[in-house]
Amino acid sequence: MKRILITGANGQIGSELRETLAAQYGSDQVISIDLNKPAGYDAKKLGVLESVDVTDRQAIEKIIDQYQVGTVFHLVGILSGKGELNPDLAWNVNVSSLKYVLDFAKEKSLRVFWPSSIAVFGPTSPKEQTPQITTLEPTSIYGVTKVAGELLCNYYFNKYRVDVRSLRFPGLISYKTPPGGGTTDYAVEIFYEALKRQAYTSFLKRDTVLPMMYMPDAIRAILELMASPSDDLTIRTSYNLTAISFSVAELATEIQKHIPAFQLSTDPDHRQKIADSWPRSIDDSIARRDWGWRHAFDLSAMTREMLKNLQAQ
Ligand code: AKB
């Protein structure tokens, strides 16, 4: 069997996907790349981890050839909040590296998974039940890179038959690895602070509603999409995908059911403008129709699990 390569493997999605894939296929089948190796990294359990900069085309090719890679989960990315602070970095990491991977996929017949985001939508897209096919005029550089990436994926599929598959993720909530630099990160930070200080100051306003998903649903979505017969897939840009939509205040109220003393305050920063440009809810009926997508975690189940798991940590 050809091996699996995960880029951005130490990130929020990568670290959990790596664990799942290593358990499923064996750690010798999974190769991870990221900038650094975390202290105490368990290669026996999780597979080889190489330090590689994804903007280095030659270095990526070397890894693909050396380890006889057949599938790439190209997860590396600069998220929305951080992207606004360094648009050039966002473009190089999010778009240039994807183009390298798609070129290698074309030459070496690789399968590719690449995460897109609700950030492809902008102020001119419908805010509620945002459809799969609609205006894509994002105002963040992150959103611009995700639209460019989706169009590249679609182009490589149509022109070269590269089997590249993608999901437009909402905000992802997880307890194993914190996210870094996103607009939806408040929905993770709030849990850490609720347990530590019974208080949290959100960088988004109380009434800001965004689409969200608990990480186990996201990992399952990736695996189900990648396991689907190619002919069933009608979308080769990126599938709309969602689970739950809630406001900052609604999440705080849910946390208060477990921690009654919890207090929410707000101090909006530059990420408020990004959040205001994104949808409040998503229509993912095409993913549900094409490959049977169903989310498992609603707001109360996700909150209960987050608090239980973080407490245990
Ligand atoms: C972000 O907030 O930038 C990401 C995303 C929604 O893509 N979590």
Ligand 1 touching residue 63 (CB < 6 A): no
Q: What is the pLDDT of residue 169?
A: 98
Mean pLDDT score across all residues of the chain: 97
Let me know if the fold of 3-171+212-240 is the same as that of 173-211+243-312. no
Which stretches of the chain score pLDDT less than 70? none
Q: What is the pLDDT of residue 236?
A: 98
User: Is ligand 1 within 6 A of the CB of residue 118?
Assistant: yes
Site to probe by mutation for ligand 1, drawn from 130, 185, 242 as the one with most ligand atoms within 8 Å of Cβ, is 185
Q: Are 110 and 69 in contact (CB under 8 A)?
A: yes
Residue 168 CA to ligand 1 center (angstroms) comes to 10
Give the model's pLDDT for residue 262: 98
Name the closest-CA residue to atom 4, ligand 1. 182
Tell me if 182 CB under 6 Å of ligand 1. Answer: yes
The rounded percent of the chain whose pLDDT value lies above 90 is 97
Task: Please report the sign of the dihedral spanned by the C-alpha atoms of residue 184, residue 185, residue 191, residue 195.
Answer: negative
Domain boundaries, the chain: 3-171+212-240, 173-211+243-312
Q: What is the predicted pLDDT for the residue at 93?
A: 98
CATH of 3-171+212-240, one of 3.20.20.60, 3.40.50.720, 3.40.190.10, 3.30.43.10: 3.40.50.720
Looking at the CA of residue 115, tell me the nearest atom of ligand 1. 7
Catalytic residue selected from 67, 100, 142, 186: 142
The protein residue with its alpha carbon nearest to ligand 1, atom 6, reads: 171
Q: Which atom of ligand 1 is nearest to the CA of 81?
A: 3
Q: How far is the CA of 184 from the centre of ligand 1 (A)?
A: 6
pLDDT of residue 240: 98
Query: Is the CB–ligand 1 distance for residue 166 below 6 Å?
Result: no
Tell me what pLDDT residue 179 has. 81
**Residue 71 C-alpha to ligand 1 middle, in angstroms?**
24
Residue 128 is predicted with a pLDDT of 98
> Does the global pTM surpass 0.85?
yes
* CB-ligand 1 contact for 183 (6 Å cutoff): yes
Cβ(79) to ligand 1 under 6 A?
A: yes
Instruction: Say whether 142 is catalytic.
Output: yes
d(CA 275, ligand 1 centre) in Å: 9
At the topology level, CATH places domain 173-211+243-312 in: UDP-galactose 4-epimerase; domain 1 (3.90.25)
Q: In the prediction, which pLDDT does 6 show?
A: 98
The protein residue with its alpha carbon nearest to ligand 1, atom 8, reads: 171
